[in-house]
Amino acid sequence: MQQFLDTTLGGLVLGAVYAAFALALCLIWRSTRIVNFAQAAMAMVTTYIALSLINVDVPYWVAFLAAIAAGFVLGAVIERVIIRPVEGKAELNAVILTLGLFMVLHGLTAITFGVQHRGFPAPVSTSAISVGDTSIGITPFGILTIVVVAVVMAGLVVLFRFTDLGLRMRASAFNGEVSRLLGVRVGRMLTLGWALAAAVGAVAGMLIAGGDLVNPAFMDPFVIYGFVAAVLGGLDSPIGSVIGGLILGLSLSYVTGYVGEHLAPLVALGILMLVLLVRPSGLFAAAAARRV
């Protein structure tokens, strides 16, 4: 029972991070119909930026904000310079492009910061909370992770549902041509979508790194887990991405806890295949004639 509780709580924390990642993928998919396979590498870069700030005694939360800002700028620059030429072209091109970007960011980070593992600080304790004599399987940092992800999601919901800017972004994602006729600066909205997604990814990167070791490869599994979570919930649906992230986090946590940690990616693959074969548009997306 104790183990079950621990695994579940651990899975929720993990799921929150996957959810943030899936959300970032979903934002980009909705605006440009591209799956950004470089998402994890972008988040890794911003995490390293934060780490180098922390190493020169910048307070943690300032570094956290700097990572978000760096992600925002990085996302905008990448969309403008690299992605813009392939928008609306063959879908294979965009996939290959983001994979190339993944390799470049990965290698450049390794060259700049070295490949060795480095400790990453956490703003709050990363040892399990204990109630009385028994420790329960969640850390203050885990709680912080869930809270931060929830805040980010709430922020996005407010942005998209209740602001003029959010409406314009939704409009340009829904139908660029018509939005352009109505006076929306569609190009700018797409850039903003990428920037926001990269900022969300940067938050996820900080949450994964906190209290752990980082090296240029530390985000690699999230390339696939973020994708699986997003597809599980439906690439089109932000709420779906979040729920997909939580489901994936819990499932992988149970597999790691009870079967063996090395099987986790295989289980993720199994989940992905099952979803794509049974419900290709994901659990929470409106039905479409063809998606997969």
Partner 1 sequence: MERLSSFIGPLVRPVRSVPLAWHLLVGLLAFLVVATVIGSSSQYLQTRYAEMAFFAIAAGGLTLLTGLSGQLSLGHGALMAVGAYAATLVLERTGGETLADVFVALLVAIAVCAVVGVIVGVPAARLHGPYIAGATLTLAVAVPRLANQWEFLGGEQGLQVPVPRAAELPAWIQDLVWFFTAAEIDQYSFLAYLGWLLLILAFVALANLSRSRVGRRWRAVRDDDVSAELAGIHLGRARVVAFTVSAMCAGLAGGLMAMNVRLTAPGAFTITLSLTLLAAVVLGGLGSLTGALIGAGVLAFLPHFATDLGESAGLSATQAAEVTPVVYGLVLMLVILLAPAGIVGSLRLFLARSSLGSSTKEKTT
Residues that bind partner 1 (CB under 8 A): 34-35, 37, 82, 85-86, 91-97, 99-108, 110-111, 114-115, 216, 220-221, 223-224, 227-228, 231, 260, 262-266, 268-269, 272-273, 276-277, 280, 291-292
Catalogue the long-range contacts made by 91-94 (C-beta closer than 8 Å, 24 or more residues apart): 91/33, 91/34, 94/34, 94/35
Of residues 221, 242, 228, 239, the one with CA closest to residue 275: 228
- Residue 179 carries which side chain, given as an amino acid letter? S
Q: How far is the CB of 240 from partner 1 (least distance, A)?
A: 15
- Residue 96 or 158: which CB sits closer to partner 1? 96
- Residue 142 or 234: which CB sits closer to partner 1? 234
Q: How far is the CB of 23 from partner 1 (least distance, A)?
A: 16
- Residue 96 or 181: which CB sits closer to partner 1? 96
- Residue 101 or 152: which CB sits closer to partner 1? 101
Question: CA Rg, the chain, in Å?
Answer: 19
Residue 83 token pair? 């992605």
Q: How far is the CB of 17 from partner 1 (least distance, A)?
A: 17
**Strand, coil or helix: 135:** strand
Q: How far is the CB of 157 from partner 1 (least distance, A)?
A: 25
- Residue 129 or 224: which CB sits closer to partner 1? 224
Residue 150 token pair? 């929830």
Q: How far is the CB of 70 from partner 1 (least distance, A)?
A: 20
- Residue 158 carries which side chain, given as an amino acid letter? V
d(CA 86, CA 241): 25
